[in-house]
Structure 1
Amino acid sequence: MSAVVIVYVPCEVVRVHVRVGFGDTVSPMEDLVLRAVHAGLNEVGALEQRLGLGRRIIDDLIYDLWRHGHLTVDHRAATVAVSDQVAACVVADDMGRLGGAEAVQQPCDLMIDKLTRRVLPARGRQRPPHPRLCVPADDRRVGLEDLPQHSVLHALNEALRRTEPEEPDRTRTRIQGRSRLVQSYRIPPPGLRETMGRRWIEMKVHPHWDEEGQRLTVTVVDDLVPAELREAASERLTQLFAASPRSAVYAELRQGAQGALLEPPSAETALARLAARVERAPDIPAGRRHAWHEEMADDARQLDGLLRDRVEREMRVTTVPASDHHAVVDRLIATAHTQLVIVGPWIRYRALTGHLDALSAAVRRGVRIVLVWGADADSAYDEAMDEQTRNALEDLARQAPAGALERVVIPRTTSRTHAKLVVCDHHTALVTSRNVLSAAGDRPEVGVLLEAAAPSGPIVVSDLLGWVRSVVPSYPQSREVQVRASKDAGQESAATGPPGPADGDPARRTQASRTEPTEAQAPPALSIQPPGEHRDAEASVRVWTQGWLEHVERSRAFLEDRALPSIRLVTDDAHRSLLRHALGKATHRLVIASDGLSAEVVDQGMLGALRACLERGVHITLCYAALEHSTGTRRERYEEARTALALLRGEHPESLRILESTNHAKVLLWDDNAVVGSFNYLSFEGRYGRHRLSSELSVRLTGRAAADTVAAALGAPTPQPALGAAPPRHTSVVGSGSAYAGAQDLLSAYTPGAPPTPARLRDVLTASGDPWAVLNALGEEAPPELVRPVAAGCLSDHATATGSTASDTERWQRWLIADCWRDARYVEAAVLRHALPAPQHRPRVPLTLLAAARHTPFLTDALTELALDNPDEDERNTALAAAATAILLRGDLEALDVVNLLGAELREVWAELAEQTTTYWERAYQPIPLAQVRRALGGSERERTLDAAWQTLQRLLHHAKALTFENTTSTRTHRHLFDNVEGEFAQLTGIAGERTADGLRAWRETAEAVHDPVRLVESTGAKVSPQHPPMHGAHLKRYLNRLDPVIAQTQAVLALYGEEEGTQAALPPGAEPFGRWLASRWEALGEATAHMTGPERSLTRTFLDDIEELARWGSR
């Protein structure tokens, strides 16, 4: 059999009456009626007549709108009117703000998973296919009224979604329509509920057989079960199977049990799994990124559920020693408003009388008091309680106010429990080792006071009350235990919660509570979009990966920064499982406290596990009560275990500490986990599969501070983790998930040459809440066409927004300057550079002014300013290039002064350029006429251009001649023009073949086609076919479409001949020697420019490009 087994869990089907609304806004018909009433049609008859609707429809609409508060009805005048809100929406023409009023009542079937207490839409099998794999969970009595309202609403909405109509084709696409949403639901009273039967759902589990403990452990591994429920479900299944070892499902799972025990998922393991996936994300090839994204999103949703569950289970924790128990219990009783639950194995008059006054006052206030008692099997109330105790409890019940029934709830038979618990209302609980209503001495005890950290009350208290309800033997009395607080009662009791004893002794309260008001109560939200699937989506993949890395770091910081401990219930044989887990997993400390000691528990297996802990460096403290007056077998087992532990201590005197006293505390503590409650780990075997034993209850606290306070209460040392252990890591995370989502949104909308519109940019930046974070998420590697408007928007519109920093502002100003510089937008670069308060940042301000002044009259001023501003070597070379172009092409004398000013500091080829420029000017005293240089360069180019023009003319003539007609006149006309020697286009064909400009010029002067082609066609048609009408209509239009390009091309050819330079003026003296020198040193100038390292290189290249034609002319 496979390691994973599918079992079948029973679900109770419940019918609920639901009110379902349609749409998020008013329907078109509701909109019409509201506008009509607002316009003055305020009588039903007038609406019926004007709108053309039946009276029944009008009545239903008015009723729904009135019920929803959109209409008011004047019964005396028989008129209706719109509410103020509706009137405002009509005036503003914004009816979308109004919720829809249409609603229907309908039944809906839900089912309750009896294992995890989930609420689901009714589905699954009516009969399990394999009856031997059915989970025996029928003993759990649970109704919808016991479950959170939000869970029921979620299940109802999911049931509605599944009934939405779908396309009948293979795709099963949902048909779009008005959305349906549950507005409210009603559960029938118990006597009127219909029996809807049962369904069975599949659940994947992994069974493990512990050979040493001879115990079957089951772990839920089904992905359909929320991660935060799997641990509780695993514990429950393990307990169910231990209680029924002869069942068929136990035999099946025992047969399939193999491999190592699988741990239920924790937030830490889920985070590690997600981090491992994110680490591989950059290497995922195109085509698989969306699938990988969905897998990471599934892991993130699981992590989110686990983190939220952890937050819901956080409480303020205070350790309570024996001396404080009486005062704490009295405070809990005195501050109770609705309900007080006390659980203990025994009730003794001596201990009860110490709390009777407080209990009586609570009963008179109307508080319901539930006393759960009985550790032995088959004990009746009259037999277990002495007469004094019974009389005191009956007197207590009689003090309830008149008409208040069952204010004191006491089961009439034993509850078979060894738990010790006090719960005040729904916000505070005391879980302890002390027997609250029977202990009278001062033996060492340890309890924990759990107080709600949030006003709404924690899920932990509800779990405790649910456990109390499950152990009350009488079903009617168990329903008296209110598992969840009503809204009003919950707010009242939470507002006046009892102060713990640690208010006067901060050492016993978890130190983390000092920072609890600043804790984030919600995990980081996931808002990451998948990247593009194309191969060149590097920027999109980078933003996607960074977004996931940021989410992982935020989740890790959220988890590590949790200041309050997380609380979970531990019941029955789960204590023994946790003991084995602690023995195997402890890394630096282990503390076990128990009332008594027995060789049945401290056997060779446990001694071996303790020895293994000690050998790997774990510090162990064992606290137990010395057995002073017992005799017989119990005494023998105590001495045997005591001797074995003494021998073990002799082997490890530094690491094993044994505290033998009158201890009554029950604690299991390892590393950062502490379990406090009623289970005796060193004296009680707790094999629930063999016998019907008394129930046990503890709470598991997860958190370093809470574990330290419990250890201190026991007198155990607090060793620190080994030096090799990694300290808590807090990564500083900048930005938010919405920033990366906004960046990905912009990248998805971007296509080269078509960046997102300004409106889209504005919407994305506004929606993110932090535009600077979006910009930083895009980064400098994103397409500049996209980054440019985002950076400009942040600098111009959000310079003082939250999230902006001076470093970010300067960074993106510099980026924009560099971007403009790369694109030769020098004026924009100069404006931005003036706004940057960094004088030495390159390009410096004088250089940007020089670049902006290129090809303007202000170039000389900019040159002079740069030359006088102590330029460095690269700036001097750039200034020389600019000055040389100004002298050579414009004859600027002031630029010559700049060359003379810089000449002494120039090197190599730059010095040669300065010298040659000066020499040319001293010979010519005029600029080089660039037009003449271009004409000299253009000879060969002009020939190629003319050749191409003649070829185009020949191609157009051939295209026109190839035209055919179905009409005889049109055909004859066409042949005469193109085939007859007298035809104008036949003559043009000959000229194009000879390529004579004079012939083409003469043709254009005499050809009728140039002046009036329509008349040419008509006259030719009359000549060749005098008895028929000339070419006309569509034939003529199609013909002219072929002739017109031919005629236009003749003009284009002649225009090229018109550009002949004729007699050229002579170039200035010295131009040719300078051109030859420039051509010989052009490569050296390019190499010298390439050696520049800053923005001066591109600007120098730009200035040299202005005289490139001189270099080409000189190389002829």
Structure 2
Amino acid sequence: MRRRVLNVSFTNPVLSPPEAVRWSTVEVVVKRDPGSGQIAAVPVEAPPGWGRRGAQLFQAHITHLLHTRPESAFVKKLLNRQVPEVVRPDTLKELIRDLEQLAEGLDDAPELPDLPGRHHALEIRTNQLREQISEARRSRCGAQRVAPGAGVGYVVGDLIDRAEHQLVLAAPTIAYEALNPLLPGIEEALKRGVTLVLLWGDHPSAKLEPRSETALFDLKARYAGKVLLEKRSSSSAASLLICDNRAAYVGSRGFLSAETGAGVLVEPSEDTDTPPLCVADLLSWVRRVYPYWDTAQSIAIAPDDFGRTGRGVPAEPARWWRWGPPELPEGWDEDPVGFQVGWAAAWGRVLRELVDAVNDVHRGADPVVRAVWDGAYAEVVGRLVASAGERLAVTDDRAEHEACDETLAVRLRRLREAGGVVHLQHPSLSGGRRTATAYDALLKALKTDGTLRVGKARARAVLSDHEMVAGSHHPVGHGATRPGQGAVAQVGLHIVGTSFTADFARELGIPEWFGAAGDSGGAGPEYHPTAGVFAAIPLDDDPWTALAQRERAGRGAEELRRYAAALLMGQGGGESQGDAAGPGGTEDQGADPHHADPLHSGSHPADPHRSDSERWSRWLLEDAWRRGAFMEAYLLTPLLGGGPGALSVELAAVALPLEHGPFGEQLFFSALALEAAPAEQRTVALAGAVAEMLLHGGDTGRLACRHLTEGAPAEGLPTAWLELARAARACFEAARPRCPCTTSTNGRPARSARRAPTSAGRGSPPRWPTSNRPRTTSASRTARSCTAPCSGRTASSPRSARWPTIPGPPTAGSR
């Protein structure tokens, strides 16, 4: 919409009928920044229809009144109500810093307090930042520095020759020696049908030089209706030349004078035919400051006025961001930890993209160029001086005591003491007045640093890190008013661009603006408005990350067990696990490798979550052993695979009698398979054999116990366990006579009957792994019908026995 609003003006209320006058009252809070001294009138409630641009124009008008009418009753009342409070500039850098504070904790906090409030604040700041980035992208155009003298002369002549519809010349003074060489080119343009608009004079009582006046009004007489020229001064200090709505030159000193100074040329970007927005703003400013309102309405501004209907109109840019902000659905707090993983990852993608976009604004091929004037110009100058972080340059061709005061000295000194580089150039302070003590000390310090130059600068400019402003305004001189003659209009260009700022610094005599960090022919260093908080936010929103966050949040083992088992069994992430990735942005990702089947992907060497799968597999087995759920561990072992450090089926089997039994021959064969295993695994087998023997009355336990306590299998076993096992075996053999039906002819245990394991109180009955399912044989049928004394139970209760702690599953390095 902004590109279609070309000019806004207000008629004089005195000349309008009462019913046509509409008054608007805006209640404001007047703030004075303690550090910069800036005065800001902040509306308590923005009037309907006011956007960011409306608030900027309102504040610019207040600033203009403060600078140009300090003695007015309105300004005095305004200043009487000021309160000391930090004035926060509405800039990309400040918005990024706000987002950085809001992003704290997204990288590692399992549960954030007041997540809805933070979500709302992130959305507001994100939308504000996107709006500013979009505006900056629309304001890009080609820009070149123009050297004083011959450089300015060439650019001025070229723009006059290129004009097709309208040529605007604004200069505070017009010297005939500078005007005369241009008259032939100007007359040729008039013959082509070009309209000439002339603004002159830097104060109301200014007069044209007689020869210049004669030459210009002669052109007006000969080309009636084509030359807009008044005998009244425009009270403007601008040095401005506009060619149609395509290109403009903006300088500090008049380009129609002996000392032109340096300036900036703006044109359309190389890859587009779109006129720069800043040129349209400059034309709007020309219409505003032209001495007579009715004549000013004939100054061309709209694209149609330049014969460019349907061509060269700035197009609304397409959506440049890839990631939309996450949503906060109802019921998010049913699983806050799982939801926050996906929510934080989605915001991480959005925030990183915003930082990249801000970096692109500063380091793009074309700089961002905005026209500024009057109050807005003074505001930009003050903000650039106050917000400089690493380097600052203030250059002027005039210096006055009113501007070179203690406030400016304190700002520059603080930057210097913080490690920043301060460049200062202006003529010596004169007038017989004493320089402020703080400013005098600053000059001495900068002279020691070698960054002070005394003399007229090539341009009135302020360079601050990656941006700058240059134009007619005096940074260290009071040029906004002339005593007893009213306000003087000022205009300049605010340019955001790392490369252009460094290039203009070279024009001012600062060859290495970025020091060792910048290359004189390169794009300069990265623009880093933050300390890397966004880069630390993990972008993984997969269920494994959600599971790890649940563990960090101190969630109970039962919840961790449920989610881990569901993931490892390939059943998703549990009831609400899908919410972990639910809040993600609007980007269509297609097949997401983060949500692949962990059992199938875990075996692939490129699976990014293989380590997570192995870790939680071990965690489940260790958890089962800690709880004494050996049957659960036995059933999980073959399902979880045999990765590095995993529990073997044999080791899980020998621990089973501690919970269920009798286990029979599988115990013996599993113990036999572990006879060459590490000592801690054989200790588990020995404990299982003792449990099988004493708790369940199984003769297989006695045979396994004897095998593990004799010969090589017994080497390295704890003495206490060996003694316990031998004593238990002796007690068992003494209490129960040997049953002939349980021993085969080869001395190995016969296949005895076993009670199928159950899981009473643990859910549905477990399923036996196919490779370990008990088989019914003739020996087991014989054992079931045996009436020998061995069918009797031991005297002690199986559940009353107390056992030493069984070591947990071996680690990856102990297998």
**Residue aligned with 1:808, SS:** coil
Matches within 5 A, 1:248-327: 249-260=74-85, 262-279=87-104, 289-322=115-148, 323-327=150-154
Q: Provide the rounded CA distance (Å) in 2 between the counterparts of 1:640 and 1:933.
A: 101
Quick check: which has more Rg, 1 or 2?
A: 1
- Structure 2 unaligned blocks of 5 or more: 518-526, 551-558, 567-572, 625-631, 744-749, 761-783
Unmatched 5+ stretches in structure 1: 1-109, 119-136, 142-193, 399-405, 496-518, 627-634, 776-789, 938-1063, 1101-1116
The answer to whether the 8 A contact 1:446-1:665 is kept is: yes
**In the alignment, structure 1 residue 471 sits paired with structure 2 residue 289:** yes
> What is the CA distance between 1:473 and its match in structure 2?
3.3
CA distance in 2, matches of 1:795, 1:489: 63
Q: Secondary structure at the match of 1:343?
A: strand
CA distance in 1, matches of 2:581, 2:121: 32
Deviation at 1:644, TM superposition (A): 12
Distance in structure 2 (CA, Å) of the matches to 1:481 and 1:799:
74
CA contact (8 A) 2:342 2:582 kept: no
* Alignment-derived partner of residue 840 in structure 1: 644
Aligned with residue 697 of structure 1, among 491, 494, 501? 491
SS in structure 2 opposite 1:304?
Answer: helix
- Structure 1 residues 530, 262: closer, same or farther in 2, change over 3 A? farther
Q: What residue number does 1:1088 align with?
A: 806
Whether the 8 Å CA contact 1:422–1:431 is kept in 2: the answer is yes
Q: Distance in 1 between matches of 2:185 and 2:668?
A: 93
Question: Which of the numbers 903, 909, 934 marks the counterpart of 2:713?
Answer: 903
Check the 8 A contact 1:419/1:695 in 2, yes or no. Answer: yes
1:529 to 328, 344, 353: 328
**Structure 1 residues 717, 876: closer, same or farther in 2, change over 3 A?**
same
Alignment partner of 2:41 out of 214, 218, 232: 218
Contact preservation (8 Å) 1:460, 1:568: yes
Measure, in 1, the Cα distance between the counterparts of 2:374 and 2:30: 19
Match of 2:608 in 1: 808
* Whole-angstrom CA distance in 2 between matches of 1:729 and 1:716: 28
Q: Which residue does the alignment assign to 2:155?
A: 328
> Alpha carbons of 1:695 and 1:209: their partners in 2 closer, same or farther (altered >3 Å)?
same
Amino acid at match of 2:214: E
Alignment of 1:801-880 (within 5 A): 806=606, 808-811=608-611, 813-814=613-614, 830=638, 833=641, 840-843=644-647, 867=673, 871-872=677-678
Q: Are the counterparts in 2 of residues 588 and 722 from structure 1 also a CA contact under 8 Å? A: no
Distance 2:88 2:799 in 1: 79
- Residues in 1 aligned to 2:285 and 2:540: alpha-carbon distance in whole angstroms: 40
Partners in 2 of 1:280 and 1:868 — Cα distance? 48
| Separation (CA, whole Å) in 2 of partners of 1:812 and 1:625 | 68
1:343 and 2:343 matched: no
Partner of 2:326, secondary structure, is coil
Contact 1:678 1:698 in 2 (8 A): yes
Residues 689, 461 of structure 1: alpha-carbon distance in 2 compared, 3 angstrom cutoff: farther
Which residues in structure 2 correspond to 1:228-239 (within 5 Å)? Answer: 230-239=55-64
SS of corresponding position for 2:84: coil
Q: 1:572 aligns with which of 364, 374, 381?
A: 374
Q: 1:654 aligns with which of 424, 428, 448?
A: 448
Q: Which moved more, 1:707-716 or 1:544-553?
A: 544-553
Letter of the 1:572 partner, please give it. Answer: D
Cα deviation code 1:417-472 (max 9, x no counterpart): 22123445556543222433x1356x652435465488455543443333233223
Partner residue in 2 for 1:539: 338
Indicate how the Cα distance of structure 1 residues 575 and 688 shifts in structure 2: closer, same or farther if over 3 A, else same: farther
Pairwise CA distance, 1:765? 8.9
What displacement does 1:697 show?
A: 1.0
Could you tell me how far apart the structure 2 residues matched to 1:866 and 1:727 are?
A: 66
Residue 597 of structure 2, aligned match among 792, 796, 814:
792
Matches within 5 A, 1:663-702: 663-687=457-481, 691-702=485-496
Q: Provide the secondary structure at the position in 2 that maps to 1:637.
A: coil
Please state whether the residue corresponding to 1:264 is helix, strand or coil. Answer: coil
Q: For 2:599 and 2:28, how far apart are their aligned partners in 1?
A: 53
Q: CA separation of 1:378/1:809 partners in 2, compared to 1, >3 Å: closer, same or farther? A: same
Matched residue, 1:1033: none
What is the rounded CA distance, in whole Å, between the counterparts of 1:310 and 1:573 in structure 2?
20
Q: Compared with structure 1, are the counterparts of its residues 245 and 654 closer, same or farther at alpha carbon in structure 2 (3 Å cutoff)?
A: closer
Give the structure with the higher percent helix.
Answer: 1
Identify if the C-alpha distance between structure 1 residues 426 and 439 changes in structure 2 by more than 3 Å, giving closer, same or farther: same
TM-aligned CA distance change 1:932 to 1:197, over 3 Å: closer
Larger relative contact order, structure 1 or 2 (CA cutoff 8 Å, min sep 6):
2
Distance 1:764 1:277, change over 3 A: closer
SS in 1 for 2:492: strand
| Structure 2 counterparts to residues 69-88 of structure 1, below 5 A | none
Distance 1:352 1:696 in 2: 22
**Residue 713 (structure 1) aligned with residue 510 (structure 2):** no
Taking the aligned partners of 2:66 and 2:802, their CA distance within structure 1 comes to 91
Per-residue deviation, 1:922: 8.9
Between the aligned residues of both structures, percent identity stands at 17
Residues 342 and 579 in structure 2, CA contact (< 8 A), matched pair in contact too: no
TM value normalised by structure 2: 0.65
CA displacement 1:507-545 (0-9 Å, x = unmatched): xxxxxxxxxxxx995496422426857586333345445
Aligned equivalents of 1:729, 1:896: Cα separation in 2: 64
Contact 1:341 1:369 in 2 (8 A): yes
Alignment partners' CA distance in 2, 1:584 and 1:111: 29
Displacement after TM superposition at 1:1088 (Å) = 1.0
User: 2:425, 2:454 within 8 Å by CA — same for their partners in 1?
Assistant: yes
> For residue 623 of structure 1, what is the aligned residue in structure 2?
425
- Deviation (angstroms), 1:293: 3.3
Provide the alpha-carbon RMSD of the alignment.
6.5
C-alpha separation in 2, matches of 1:200 and 1:933: 89
Residue 676 of structure 1, CA deviation: 0.8
* SS in structure 1 at match of 2:29: strand
Which amino acid counterpart does residue 594 of structure 1 have in structure 2?
D
State the 1:713 CA deviation.
1.4
- Aligned AA (1:445): A
1:814 and 1:680, CA in 2 relative to 1: closer, same or farther beyond 3 A? Answer: same
Q: Distance in 2 between matches of 1:468 and 1:450?
A: 18
> For the residues of structure 1 that align with 2:238 and 2:161, how far apart are their CA atoms?
22
- State the partner residue of 2:215: 388
1:669-700: CA deviation from partner (whole Å, max 9, x where unpaired): 34544221112344444248974233111223
Determine the C-alpha separation between the residues in 1 that align with 2:144 and 2:204.
33
Aligned to 1:151: none
Taking the TM superposition and a 5 Å limit, the aligned residue runs for 1:960-971 are: none
Letter of the 1:319 counterpart: R
Contact 1:596 1:682 in 2 (8 A): yes
Native 8 Å contact 2:394 2:463 kept in 1: yes
Q: Which amino acid aligns with 1:840?
A: P
Partner SS for 2:597? helix
Q: Offset at 1:825?
A: 9.4
- Offset, 1:320: 1.9
Q: CA deviation at 1:235?
A: 1.8
**C-alpha separation in 1, matches of 2:541 and 2:21:** 44
Rounded to whole Å, the distance in 1 between the matches of 2:36 and 2:574 is 67
Q: Deviations over 1:873-930 (max 9, x none)?
A: 565567778999999999999x979977983457348767799599899963245544
Cα contact 1:526–1:737 (8 A) shared by 2: no
8 Å contact kept, 1:566–1:702: yes
Deviation of 1:654 after TM superposition, in Å, equals 0.4
Matches within 5 A, 1:166-185: none
Query: Partner letter of residue 809 of structure 2?
Result: M
Equivalences for residues 900-939 of structure 1 within 5 A: 903-904=713-714, 907-908=717-718, 924-925=742-743, 926-927=750-751, 929-930=753-754
